[in-house]
Amino acid sequence: MRYKTISKEMYVRNRARLVNSMKPGSLAIVNSNDEMPRTGDQTFPFRQNSDMFYLTGLDQEKCILTFCPEHPMESMREILFTVKTNDMMVTWNGHKYTMDEVRAVSGIKNVKWTDEFEITLRDLMLRLQVVYLNQNEYPKFISEVPDRDSRFALKMRHDFPVHTCERLAPIITEMRMVKQPEEIAQIQKACDITNDGFRRVLKFVKPGLVEYEVEAEFTHEFIRKGSAGHAYAPIIASGGNACILHYNTNFNTCNDGDLLLMDVGAEYGNYAADMTRTIPVNGKFSPRQRQVYDAVLRVLKAATAMLKPGTTNEKWHGEVCKIMEKELVGLGLISPDDIRSQSGDSPAFFKYYMHGTGHFLGLDVHDVGSRQVVFETGMVMTCEPGIYIPEEGIGIRLENDIMVADEPVNLMLGIPVEPDEIERLMRG
């Protein structure tokens, strides 16, 4: 692996916690992700199913994990199935886990080849009534391509129609929201690598560059430092492109006098960082750019201080919007009259600040957790206020990754954000 792995003890704990939440007399099954076809005979780079990784630490396709806690044979209570390799497969595609390596990474004692799965599954299913099946339950994500877990669920309902199926995702979601120390360390490493990339870019950016050249500098530094690359499609948005929230074509020229909004994050050990910084292409903020930047920075600092146990994303965002409202009045973008006449469905600030203040972060960049979940110590949130003024060609967003605590912990504390420091670093 190009990254430092987590000790198997964490995965052993995670599986024990899951088993304790299962109904008596039940079975749970988790699949690895597919190798996704690209074109011709090519596949996209493999990325493990986050739930499988959380429970095993295994970073390989064609793995299946089963839990049957009440099976009379102890060896059948927890099984990991992995692909059986041969010399020809290794020659063409490289090393795959041996059984001993699976045991060393995951702490699972009973390892079988996947060609034993069907007969083992039948033995397990005939001893119980309830089976937990996993599925991606991120509410905003709908894919036209069914993933491996979804296809497996359909097959299970067909093959075992009189069994009761339960959702595994709510159990794993509850577990994954609060990060363990080992996970915080991986996220911190991803943030540190992101810091390295940003500092590299500060020395590189100048008028005349194309946005994808800036993206390439981040990519170079991320991979050089042991990251898998970007945790998500990077946004490198100059000038008016910064007002397009999910702009990622990254092919326009960075012009003198423009701002450059960069929403990027390294992935390390399957854990994501998520950073946004906005800098002047020519190394010097104009007075108006600086005025708007300072307003966003004040909101960032105020919002960060609120990330404490006991509130929710929904309530937090509501309080941040009140602060943003005052900043927009100070910038002359909205007026007190606009506020007095606004409706609940269309607040005045929404014209210039139209997205949430943050989201959960972890194995996925938009990690598990809802807007109504009460914050607990150890949860990690992004904090990303922004102001977008298309008529002025100004879009500024600033984003850090914060661990929820009585004194919130900024995991991106070392990444420059003060405008004077950014200008100084850009001067070289």
The secondary structure of residue 365, as a DSSP letter, is S
Is 397 one of the annotated active-site residues of the chain?
yes
Tell me the pLDDT tens digit for each residue of 312-323.
Answer: 999 999 999 999
> Which one from 317, 359, 364, 401 is the annotated catalytic residue?
359
Question: Which amino acid is residue 131, in one-letter code?
Answer: V
Residue 359 designated active-site: yes
Helix (H, G, I), strand (E, B) or coil at 22: coil
Annotation says 384 is catalytic = yes
Residue 192 reports pLDDT greater than 90: yes
- 61, 263, 327, 401: the catalytic one is 263
Q: What is the pLDDT of residue 142?
A: 84
- The residue from 176, 206, 222 where one domain ends is 176
The pTM score is 0.96
Domain co-membership, 40 together with 124: yes
Q: In this structure, what token pair is assigned to residue 15? A: 């599986």
Q: Which residue out of 51, 59, 78, 399 is catalytically annotated?
A: 399
> What's the pLDDT tens digit per position in 117-129?
999 999 999 999 9
Helix (H) or strand (E) holding 221: helix 211-224
pLDDT at 260: 98
Residues 84 and 136 in one domain: yes
* 3 state SS of 387: strand
Q: Which of 176, 194, 224 is the last residue of a domain?
A: 176
Locate tokens 């069994």: which residue?
163
- Note if 159 is an active site residue: no
Which 8-state DSSP code applies to residue 23? P
Domain boundary among 153, 176, 199: 176
Same domain, 170 and 186: no
Q: Catalytic: 274?
A: yes
Query: Using one digit for the tens of pLDDT, what is the confidence trace for 8-32?
Result: 999 999 999 999 999 999 999 999 9
Number of helices and strands in the chain (H, E) = 13, 19
Of 127, 200, 366, 371, the active-site residue reads 366
- Write the single-letter amino acid at 415: I
Q: pLDDT of 362-404, one tens digit each?
A: 999 999 999 999 999 999 999 999 999 999 999 999 999 999 9
Q: Which of 183, 267, 274, 367 is catalytic?
A: 274
289 exposure class (CB count in 10 Å sphere: 0-12, 13-18, 19+): buried
User: 96 or 239: which carries more pLDDT confidence?
Assistant: 239
Q: Is the pLDDT of residue 91 over 90?
A: no
CATH number, position 32: 3.40.350.10
Q: Is the dihedral of CA 63, 178, 191, 274 positive or negative?
A: positive
> Measured between alpha carbons, how far apart are the two ends of the chain, in Å?
35
Domain that holds residue 139: 8-176
Tell whether 256 and 375 lie within a shared domain: yes
pLDDT at 94 (0 to 100): 80
Q: What is the distance between the alpha carbons of residues 228 and 240, in angstroms, rounded to a whole number? A: 30
